[in-house]
Structure 1
């Protein structure tokens, strides 16, 4: 949708949402988490897409079909290629380096790596630094957050079937990791 590292434009986000194969509630929620700045427009578009359209049994003309194919082809070229999971590409040593670079306990990095932290609760400033430390674009990081299963990389014996845990806020993870109030305030601020 846009060059690596840049936030996509409103039009690019709305175009991408409009051609989703299933623009249902979960798709809308994913877009709202990724692009909260376009929330009103996304909700309006979602409503518009769900509107009942009277059935027209007449087949499309060859010209209409050609226009649709051309538009779809153009859109397909504009979609970013689904790259590898940036979380999976890093080794244990890489994760230690990320923790040092961001000056947070490894416990915080583990929670981020396992996607136990709600993406919406992480300040954009911190996300940019995390993406930089992971050597990927901010958009790639955000997209991989939403598509990855919420499963732990750890293995345990359990009585029941494993299931994804609920996500928690970034602030809660920092508190649980024993990050000082002063450092926590620095990490949670949006200002540079």
Structure 2
């Protein structure tokens, strides 16, 4: 071990220091991630736990799935956004039924809509006409949808509370790859290919 490794605080000390910070916002998390990249997973996990704790009502010990989803949305908003730009997640208010309904209105599979929501598709490859349809169905502007889709990819949260798999940032693929891998019918594929610029 080098002298520098001996002088570095342990993971436990770093997490303790992070947990007693006055705020646990994006800037604070980024500072710790830059200074201690070897403890990035532990710091992100700690940040999520602190946000969940902040949303917990002291009177109710039972954590609902809604509270977990709200904490996750807060975390993604803090982590994903540049310091001075607020990009709204147009999918944030959709419950599972509304999400499935949106996929049906767009005539796409839930899997493709999940890829769009998680920004797993390179925004520049998504046809403008499709973005306009998505914006219309979500009651947003095409510009707002484009801004959201151009934001960094989201962390996959589906496994974070249901299994031992750690959340990870999704790898972006092209729109063409996404539609070919999203279990679409031949008619749905043809309709989406026709929208390509």
Question: TM-score scaled by structure 1?
Answer: 0.50
Greater RCO (CA < 8 Å, at least 6 residues apart): 1
